[in-house]
Structure 1
């Protein structure tokens, strides 16, 4: 007699860097023109089409200046989501949206049990950045959503957007440069500032991941714009995947690249990239999962069936009404008889 396979619930998760999603006529960066109404509508329509295509149960969004703009994009998708949250980017008057830097958000049709933004680094993880002083908090606070699936399973989802590799040149209060950006040595020092900031954010994020996973059976999905490739030092500082290969006990607090964990039947295309920098494709936007989705783990309650990259638009020319990042979606499965959390 063949064993009856367990009953699975499916969970589509996706991540999207929306590239400066802001209201029309709203100045978000001093050196960039606001969107005019027609340009804004093109951006909303384009994003709405992509959101409809993804049809994710949980969508992590980065670079949101105004939550009302994200809600417009959701409305344009024609899909229904019960929760759209972008802490720090609330823009319904009198609120004025994010200031200084965009925020990350979460869009979901699952029940939201908790939302929490992490602003400050855990104690002991601040660093001195040359000429900038102590770096003690996230530029774009990670957003944790504790969600519950229809059959009762809890899932933690953490949306992240780490500091970019773009050199951190010194500017004055009005945004005017204080350094000669054509000087190669100054540019190297500016890149060092960015690296130190991203590394500190990665270490702080690692501590958050450990706190969420240590001695917990609630599965965790971490996704967003890591601003570096999956095997980079900063990304692995967050995930610590390699530790799990040498120490099985380390699996409890490790993260696994969903693309590398997808089932044998998945079609792994050679187009797994989410950004093009100076003509070179790279993966910056990633989805990581905890060992509850790792086949073979004694704590597994599901698996990763498929990961898809939607990146054709990256070859259509740069246009800020679209995005300069690909969208990434993963299909996860959870056993319905394995309710934890």
Structure 2
């Protein structure tokens, strides 16, 4: 790609941990053979993607990801971004960025912004009051800044991993759970709690993005495993549901984020994109969202959408230990530097 073009990728690593180290409650983790298969798969995918910026989820050991980057031949071209104090005892979001693009130091955001208040007395007298006391992300959000070229603006990038759709295990609660009372309803309560947590995380990240994007020309990108589809409320909160304009229309939302999946669908005969399979249901949980600076029909466009690729064949076999593959599709979105010319029509 030309020097001002840019590509982004999202890559869930499926618990990339050093061999023999604990993964959640499994104290033994991966054995040497499975670990090497995971490194081989990860390295081959990274080399195939050749993305300028990759956002990772489910990283335990930064040393393992560095080994994959080295094996992919990216030692000199890319720098690994992982929390400097991380000891491999939990999963984190991480990044790999071309060395000449990184601006400043990355940060990992744990706490929700103070502007986020999830409390209301309701929209009408029939509604009871609601209050959500959650104050932090399930996985710290990585925030980095990159500049593809000295002639381009700095791009603000967030890498996230929201709460899964799996029901919260309420049977673990000791202060209120009563087996005889709550066991029949554990799934319903658990799904509700997971949804509330994921929605709150989306709202918190939306606040962080709005701080940067609203009323400015700053490019913003959100990369991550959001554990929800493009038409879900989670994505609606993040994107603010922008209007995708017709071919000759020009506009763009100052505070909007556009899904690369939708941009690709506008060029496709049908929607065949999926990044996850659960009980034979195909869905897209991993997304790349971009501000209007990357949207073809925006008056403030700087880059135009080139294409989006999803590597997902490995999802059709549940042999992740045997193959070393992960359980999510890997998403790549590419954008070409092409600000609009004055001659372009404005409708």
**What TM-score results when the alignment is normalised by the length of structure 2?**
0.82
Q: Distance in 2 between matches of 1:188 and 1:312?
A: 32
What is the DSSP-based 3-state SS (H/G/I as helix, E as strand, rest coil) of the residue aligned with 1:215? coil
Structure 2 runs not aligned, ≥5 long = 120-131, 342-347
Q: Are the counterparts in 2 of residues 19 and 323 from structure 1 also a CA contact under 8 Å? A: yes
Partner of 1:258: 260
Matched, 1:86 2:79: no
Q: Distance in 2 between matches of 1:179 and 1:292?
A: 53
Please give the root-mean-square deviation of Cα atoms over the aligned residues, in Å. Answer: 3.0
CA apart distance, 1:26: 0.7
Partner of 2:129: none
Q: Distance in 2 between matches of 1:249 and 1:89?
A: 44
Q: Distance in 2 between matches of 1:88 and 1:235?
A: 30
Structure 1 runs not aligned, ≥5 long = 1-6, 91-95
CA apart distance, 1:169: 1.1
Matched, 1:169 2:169: yes
Q: Distance in 2 between matches of 1:88 and 1:187?
A: 38
Q: Distance in 2 between matches of 1:244 and 1:253?
A: 14
Q: Distance in 2 between matches of 1:268 and 1:304?
A: 17
Partner of 1:52: 47
Q: Are the counterparts in 2 of residues 163 and 198 from structure 1 also a CA contact under 8 Å? A: yes
Matched, 1:197 2:187: no
The count of corresponding residues between Structure 1 and Structure 2 is 316
What is the DSSP-based 3-state SS (H/G/I as helix, E as strand, rest coil) of the residue aligned with 1:186? helix
Partner of 2:32: 37
Q: Are the counterparts in 1 of residues 18 and 35 from structure 2 also a CA contact under 8 Å? A: yes
Partner of 2:147: 148
Q: Distance in 1 between matches of 2:3 and 2:46?
A: 25
Q: How is 1:215-234 mapped onto 2 (pairs within 5 angstroms)? A: 215-234=215-234
Q: Are the counterparts in 1 of residues 257 and 291 from structure 2 also a CA contact under 8 Å? A: yes
CA apart distance, 1:187: 1.4
Structure 1, residues 236-281: CA drift from partner, whole Å, max 9, x if none? Answer: 1011123787xx99811110011222497x5566431100011010
What is the DSSP-based 3-state SS (H/G/I as helix, E as strand, rest coil) of the residue aligned with 1:140? strand
